[in-house]
Chain A
Amino acid sequence: EVQLVESGGGLVQPGGSLRLSCAASGFTFSSYWMHWVRQAPGKGLVWVSRINSDGSSTSYADSVKGRFTISRDNAKNTLYLQMNSLRAEDTAVYYCARGQWQIDYWGQGTLVTVSS
């Protein structure tokens, strides 16, 4: 069974940093592209970033470019999102998700709240 379990969310002050992790199991992690997608309270899904299977290629939404960094450790079956210079508008549930042409599995999400 495919499982994606996010962790690392919490309350952080504006300008602060946070690192999210996503532990993957039930599939060959190193064979799949991975994404981070976020959803602000009461709002829609917004794509944040993606990384290819070996970590050599990454893409970011304009809203997070230069502040967020996606990475992966295929030996640990883990996806990461380093978030720096956080803003109030980054407050959201962050989902880890699997897929290249389409996302076929999603984690349950971790809540990030940026507030003073």
Chain B
Amino acid sequence: QSALTQPASVSGSPGQSITISCTGTSSDVGGYNYVSWYQQHPGKAPKLMIYEVSNRPSGVSNRFSGSKSGNTASLTISGLQAEDEADYYCSSYTSSSTLFGGGTKLTVL
């Protein structure tokens, strides 16, 4: 039950694109197409942004996209906006548990 690995921080300027990686193993990220991504603003509950690797829930901007290659999943945010500044977490379903990444703090410069 090891946590998934994310970079601690990323940054970008308004209008730019950034990508956050999430690395697991063949037993979690690589073994299931059930990777999800969450956005969390300070003091708030997390919000689902991407599910099943690349699907966006209704109401989530199409500036958010997800992908996966092998044991690594990625979240890309294009056209960065000030309100995108938040913590982002990846998660993977497994048959015996649910794993989260350590979180990535996105700073919009």
CB atoms of B51 and A104 under 8 A apart = yes
B7 CB–A CB distance under 8 Å? no
Of listed B48, B52, B99, residue having the most chain A CB within 10 A: B48
Residues of B within 8 A of A62 (CB): 1
Q: Indicate which residue in B38, B46, B93 contacts A101 across the interface (CB closer than 8 Å).
A: B93
C-alpha gap A105/B36 in the complex (Å): 13
CB atoms of B52 and A101 under 8 A apart = yes
What is the number of contacts between chain A and chain B, taking CB atoms within 8 Å?
A: 62
Q: Shortest beta-carbon distance, B74 to chain A, in Å?
A: 16
| Interface of B toward A, CB cutoff 8 Å | 1, 3, 34, 36, 38, 40, 45-48, 51-52, 57, 87, 89, 91, 93, 96-103
Q: What 16 new A-B contacts, CB under 8 Å, besides A44-B103, A47-B91, A103-B46?
A: A45-B40, A45-B100, A45-B103, A47-B98, A59-B96, A59-B98, A61-B97, A62-B1, A95-B45, A101-B34, A101-B36, A102-B52, A102-B93, A103-B91, A103-B98, A106-B45
| Interface of A toward B, CB cutoff 8 Å | 35, 37, 44-47, 50, 59, 61-62, 95, 100-109
| 13 cross-chain CB contacts under 8 A | A44-B103, A45-B103, A47-B97, A59-B97, A61-B1, A61-B97, A101-B93, A102-B51, A103-B38, A103-B48, A104-B51, A106-B45, A108-B45
